[in-house]
Amino acid sequence: MIKVEDLHKSYGKLEVLKGITTTIHSGEVVAIIGPSGSGKSTFLRCMNLLEEPTGGRVWVGDQDVTDKKNNIMKIRQNVGMVFQHFHLFPHKTVLQNLTYAPMKVKGLAKAEAEKIAFELLEKVGLSEKANEYPTRLSGGQKQRVAIARALAMQPEVMLFDEPTSALDPEMVKEVLEVMKYLAHTGMTMAIVTHEMGFAREVADRVLFLDGGVLVEDTAPDEFFTNPKSKRAQEFLEKML
């Protein structure tokens, strides 16, 4: 569960998040939607403190991530993150990408970390790529490895920041399939996306951000068929 209370974030004079309050419940899949520059990435990155909020509070489970007394490193182990540009470790093989953090951060034995890694690679359909280096993979394969790498830490929450935006169109589906599968396993997920069809089908809830304000926080069907705000209406007209 992630709870966000009056979250503010400014870069100097530029206020990017203007007081966001919402809760992502356990097992819930939330799609975060909004125009470019509306603060979606910043919002997501405040949840694992890749960006430090300038105001408000964020809880992951019962831990306040904005409280300096809490060990953010420990909290991050519970929050997987998938980036637009994958950020796989290029000097490590696919398998090593998956086993590195479990071994070096959680202290798992190699055999155990590899067992988990192979299970995950099978789930994302990349078992035969275990010993390849990332440069040898297609974009879709890289992103599936990146998802598996995050899952290898066995997190309670997964954050996705436009996971398919950097992919060639024909590779979008394979990544969305993996995410769909993950949603069905009951994973708690926050997904920044421009894939409206996917959001509507998979998300339990849609958060619509515009200009750093949470304009709508509602069920997908409601959002896509009957958006209340003018800004959401205009946005959807452009997207659909």
Partner 1 sequence: MNLDFTQFIPSMPYILKGIIVTLKIVILAGILGFIFGIILSLFKISKFKVLGWIADVYTSIFRGTPLVLQLMLIYFGSPQIFGFQIEAYTAAVLSFALNSGAYISEIIRAGILAVDKGQQEAAMALGVPYRKMMWDIILPQALKNILPALMNEFITLTKESAIVTTIGVLDIMRRSYQVGAEYYSYFEPLLIAGLIYYLMVITLTFLGKAVERRMRRSD
Ligand X SMILES: Nc1ncnc2c1ncn2[C@@H]1O[C@H](COP(=O)(O)OP(=O)(O)O)[C@@H](O)[C@H]1O
The residues that touch partner 1, with contacts defined as CB under 8 A, are: 48, 50, 73-77, 79-81, 83, 85, 87-92, 100-101, 104-105, 133-135, 149-150, 153
Binding residue for ligand X, selected from 36, 62, 73, 230, defined by CB under 6 A? 36
Binding residue for ligand X, selected from 30, 38, 146, 153, defined by CB under 6 A? 38
CB under 6 A: which stretch of 9-17, 22-30, 58-66, 199-207 binds ligand X? 9-17
H or E element at residue 176: helix 169-184
Write down the residue that tokens 């849609």 correspond to.
Answer: 206
Answer yes or no whether residue 38 interacts with Mg ion by CB under 5 A.
Answer: no
CA dist., res. 134 & res. 148, Å (int) = 13
Answer yes or no whether residue 164 interacts with ligand X by CB under 6 A.
Answer: no
Q: Are 143 and 86 in contact (CB under 8 A)?
A: yes
Answer yes or no whether residue 48 interacts with ligand X by CB under 6 A.
Answer: no
CB under 6 A: which stretch of 30-38, 54-62, 98-106, 231-239 binds ligand X? 30-38
How many residues belong to the site for ligand X (CB under 6 A)?
11
* DSSP line for 190-207: EEE-S-HHHHHHH-SEEE
H or E element at residue 208: strand 205-210
CA dist., res. 31 & res. 17, Å (int) = 17
Show the tokens assigned to 194.
Answer: 């421009």
Determine the Cα angle at 51 with ends 149 and 223, to 5°.
80
Answer yes or no whether residue 193 interacts with Mg ion by CB under 5 A.
Answer: no
Q: Which is nearer to Mg ion, 134 or 163 (CB)?
A: 163
Binding residue for Mg ion, selected from 20, 38, 41, 134, defined by CB under 5 A? 41
